[in-house]
Structure 1
């Protein structure tokens, strides 16, 4: 007898909306917690090949923190596709220009690299300031303690 693959019923996918304040949060620790919520690993009906996760809204993206010298040494690269089109930017410069992209890139790197990961990424909403346009969804405030460590 072969084991059947568990597939949660579609009506049981009760998706929640969570708001996370990124003020003084460590970038990597915040991103790993958010990736687990997007993936649905915090739920009892977690299924690896399905999207059973919740929506996450991150506010105050410009106040996310990194440790050590990462502000000046961490580099973000992008390419226009043209010869010589490589652009390199430090963490500090990108945070001043587009702080949302830093968190999006960190979380996207922790999701599966396939169609499921792209679908999960659409449930992440990142905003620069303390306001977001998702009040109608009645999001719950989620406190993530990422300030643990030696520093």
Structure 2
């Protein structure tokens, strides 16, 4: 009787979530969001599997001070459509940053996560705040340095 000994069995570890905190003021938008997506997908752990969600949660503070390179702050546009004829609305980066600063990071992060139910679960593990204040002090988040 042949037994396949090449199977990798990963035990699910019901640990409590690891909380991380990032200051968006220090980093460029793309580098910040790609690192967040990397951590959310659990790629920084040894037991990474593409179909499993990790137990990491991320807090992003100072989202209204996020930086971009080049002239993106006056040239990049964000579009939304109401679904009605002629309902396309466009807005440039600067105006959106003044009005709803969290939406810029949310939009960039959604584009980097999987487009399925796993991506929606992972997106719920990110908390974005426009200022320094956040209600997650009791979780003792670990400060992450991207550079």
Q: Give the TM-score, by structure 2 length.
A: 0.91
CA positional deviation for 1:6: 4.0
Report the Cα offset of residue 4 of structure 1.
Answer: 3.9
Counterpart for residue 88 of structure 1: 90
Match of 1:149 in 2: none
- What does 1:69-84 correspond to in 2, within 5 Å? 69-84=71-86
Q: How does 1:1-151 map to 2 (within 5 A)?
A: 1=4, 4=7, 6-11=9-14, 13-145=15-147
Describe the superposition over 1:41-88 as per-residue Cα deviations: whole angstroms up to 9, x where unpaired.
001111111101410000000111011111111110111122211110
CA contact 2:63–2:131 (8 Å) conserved in 1 = yes
Deviates more, 1:110-119 or 1:74-83: 74-83
CA contact (8 A) 1:22 1:58 kept: yes
Consecutive unaligned residues in structure 1, runs of 5 or more: 146-151
Range that drifts further, 136-145 or 115-124? 136-145
Q: Is the 8 A contact 1:8 1:45 kept in 2?
A: no
Deviant stretches of 4+, over 2 Å: 1-8
- The question of whether the paired residues in 2 share the 8 Å contact of 1:59 and 1:130 is answered with yes
Give the deviation of 1:3 after TM superposition.
5.1
Alpha-carbon contact 1:39-1:53 (below 8 Å) kept: no
Q: Hey, what's the Cα distance between the residues in 1 that align with 2:108 and 2:55?
A: 18
Q: CA RMSD in A?
A: 1.6
